[in-house]
């Protein structure tokens, strides 16, 4: 649909659904994605896969040049590669190139929760944006930012209930495994902790902040090769170190003094895995909020080089 309006798009979407004999009653939420033209297909690939678990209406705002003539073009996808969703893509230029309520209001499902996802560099305070004020949940991804630490500090300062970050969601499996280790390791025996990860990885910093908050022990961040995410967690104690380590494989190894090495499945999580997890819960993620606002402030993010350890 070329040079159109959102009301015309909404009418066309309704007509397509009625012609196909399928209603939108099975949709459980509206997912609004704010991105640019280059990020559309990657974001939709993750969203469509997640929609198989959470049928929804997906509205993509592809924000173009705000100085260009004002124009709105649209594409509607129903069935096929749309997964279990209705997908509406809006190409916005000129005055429309500012994501706001008027662009999406007519396309949102009535009486359904609204989730907004910024797959690129997030706004400084997501909850204070026009889309953020509409949303029950706001999903960012600090891993897309050029300065991971600055991005986390900014998100911490502007955090509101309902905010979350895919850099945190990528930690779920790591947190499960580390928590399992700590169930059999008294805190009194943990003298210090080292998190080994890439310098461009906000997940490394969030894991260190989570451990700082929970263990109340010194946590050191050791930097390994950029682009490889988290590599290891080392718990130091009087009877030797306990190390959970993962290289480039999907399997981690758990090293404990006097015990055989254990192999543990610890795959890298995709954006669709993380997005699906976030869509399962629409209540505030209180643990993330405390880690971001309190744990991060208590964590020394100045890292040592892995080769110096």
Q: Which residues of the chain have pLDDT under 50?
A: 306-309
- pLDDT score for 304: 55
Total count of residues recorded for the chain: 309
User: For residue 223, which phi and psi values (nearest 5 degrees)?
Assistant: -90, 125
Q: Helix axis angle, 202-215 relative to 148-157, nearest 10°?
A: 50
In this prediction, residue 269 carries a pLDDT of: 93
Q: 244-250 — which CB contacts under 8 Å span 24+ positions?
A: 244/174, 244/177, 244/178, 244/181, 245/196
Classify each residue of 38-51 as buried b or exposed e, where b means 16 or more C-beta atoms within 10 Å of its C-beta: ebbeebbebbbbbb
- Measured between its terminal Cα atoms, the distance across the chain in Å is 59
CB-based contact 188:272 (threshold 8 Å) = no
pLDDT of residue 306: 47
pLDDT of residue 110: 87
Cα–Cα dist 111/176, whole Å: 34
Within 10 Å of residue 265's Cβ, how many Cβ atoms?
A: 9
Q: pLDDT digit string (tens) for 57-71?
A: 899 999 888 888 889
Every domain of the chain and the residues it spans: 6-166, 172-308
Distance CA 41, CA 295 (A): 35
Predicted TM-score of the model (pTM): 0.90
Q: Which residues contact 16 (CB under 8 A, 6 or more apart)?
A: 76, 78
């Amino acid at each position: 649909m070329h040079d159109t309006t959102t009301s015309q798009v909404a009418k066309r979407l309704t007509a397509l659904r009625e012609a196909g004999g399928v209603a939108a009653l099975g949709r459980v939420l509206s997912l609004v994605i704010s991105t640019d033209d280059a990020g559309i297909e990657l974001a939709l690939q993750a969203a469509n896969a997640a929609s198989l678990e959470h049928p929804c209406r997906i509205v993509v705002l592809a924000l173009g040049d705000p100085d260009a003539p004002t124009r709105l073009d649209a594409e509607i996808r129903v069935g096929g590669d749309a997964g279990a969703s209705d997908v509406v893509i809006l190409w916005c230029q000129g005055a429309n190139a500012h994501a706001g309520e008027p662009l999406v209001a007519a396309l949102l499902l009535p009486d359904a929760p609204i989730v907004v996802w910024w797959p690129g560099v997030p706004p400084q305070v997501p909850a204070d944006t026009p889309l953020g004020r509409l949303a029950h949940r706001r999903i960012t991804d600090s891993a897309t930012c050029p300065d991971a630490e600055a991005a986390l500090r900014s998100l911490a300062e502007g955090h509101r209930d309902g905010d979350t970050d895919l850099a945190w969601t990528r930690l779920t499996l790591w947190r499960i495994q580390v928590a399992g280790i700590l169930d059999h390791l008294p805190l009194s025996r943990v003298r210090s902790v080292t998190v080994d990860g890439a310098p461009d990885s906000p997940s490394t910093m969030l894991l260190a902040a989570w451990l700082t908050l929970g263990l109340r022990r010194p946590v050191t961040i050791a930097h390994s090769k950029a682009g490889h995410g988290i590599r290891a967690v080392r718990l130091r104690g009087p009877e030797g170190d306990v190390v959970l380590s993962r290289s480039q494989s999907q399997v981690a190894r758990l090293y404990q003094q006097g015990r055989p090495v254990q192999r543990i499945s610890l795959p890298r999580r995709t954006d669709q895995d993380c997005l699906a997890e976030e869509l399962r819960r629409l209540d505030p993620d209180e643990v993330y909020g405390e880690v971001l606002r309190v744990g991060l402030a208590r964590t020394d993010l100045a890292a040592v080089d892995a080769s110096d350890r």
